[in-house]
Amino acid sequence: MLSILVILPSVQYVFAAEEPGEYLDRRVEIWNLFFRMMTVAFVVGAVVSGTLIWLIWRFRESHPKAKPTSYEEKGVW
């Protein structure tokens, strides 16, 4: 997904100026790419944070389905 967001716009910018003397505003293109990458970063961060919260909530000690392993019951490590 990351390569699609970086490579395809870069190729598009190479072919964007169709006539000689036509210029691209690099600042606009850089900010556009920055905001796309930040969108991806926030989505990935939200997924990772959500997964961590779920794991911590699901496998906490006070969970009703949590029970000690056979090693923990015997006290043998």
pLDDT tens-place values along the chain, 77 residues long: 666 666 666 666 666 656 666 677 788 888 888 998 999 999 999 999 999 999 999 888 888 888 877 887 888 76
Tokens 């009703």 correspond to 64
The Cα–Cα gap between 30 and 42 comes to 18
- Contact criterion met (CB below 8 Å) for 33 and 9: yes
Of the candidates 28, 33, 31, the residue with the CA atom closest to the CA atom of residue 10:
33
Please return the burial class of 39, using the count of CB atoms within 10 Å of its CB with bins 0-12, 13-18 and 19+. exposed
